Amino acid sequence: MIETISAITLATHDMVRAVHFYEALGFEIVHGGEHALFTSFRAGTGYLNLIAQSADRHWSWWGRAIFYVSDVDAFHAKVIAKGYRPDEAPRDAEWGERFFHLTDPDGHELSFARPLG
């Protein structure tokens, strides 16, 4: 049986830009950084990794990474205050979560959520 996810790795064409984006959201660097080819951020008990890719590598919509936060509306306000534009306002979903989506500078979709009730 699968117990947990350890990490998700996303590709980036611009590590400096990507690191600034994820740091602004509150992710903490545990390895690498702006000038590294590979950077890891703490994401609860797991990790969000970035791997640098050359400009000739292209990708289309790949899926979505979902992160639980303590307060979806407060996190949404923080994202806006940092100058980013979420794809939508927070809302309650029929599957029992409050959430909103944000697309990172490389086109990766992120969801920030919290179970309802």
The answer to whether 36 and 82 have CB atoms below 8 angstroms apart is no
The answer to whether 70 and 114 have CB atoms below 8 angstroms apart is yes
Summarize the confidence of residues 12-16 as an average pLDDT. 95
Summarize the confidence of residues 94-117 as an average pLDDT. 92
Quick one: CATH architecture of 64-117? Roll (3.10)
Domain boundaries, the chain: 8-54, 64-117
Higher pLDDT, 46 or 3: 46
For residue 14, give the DSSP letter.
-
Q: Which CATH superfamily is domain 8-54 in?
A: 2,3-Dihydroxybiphenyl 1,2-Dioxygenase, domain 1 (3.10.180.10)
Question: Average pLDDT over the chain, rounded to whole?
Answer: 92
Residue that is written with structure tokens 């992710």 in the block: 27
Q: Are strands 46-52 and 7-12 parallel, antiparallel or unpaired?
A: parallel
User: What pLDDT is attached to residue 82?
Assistant: 95
Which amino acid, one-letter code, is at 67? F
Q: Is the pLDDT of residue 2 over 60?
A: no
> For residue 67, what are its two tokens?
């992160």
What is the per-residue burial (b if ≥16 Cβ within 10 Å, else e) of 82-97? eeeebeeebeeeeeeb
User: What pLDDT is attached to residue 117?
Assistant: 84
For 40-55, the pLDDT digits (tens) are 999 999 999 999 988 7
Higher pLDDT, 86 or 59: 86
Q: What is the pTM of this model?
A: 0.82
pLDDT bin (cut points 50, 70, 90) of residue 61 is low
User: What pLDDT is attached to residue 55?
Assistant: 79
User: What pLDDT is attached to residue 49?
Assistant: 96
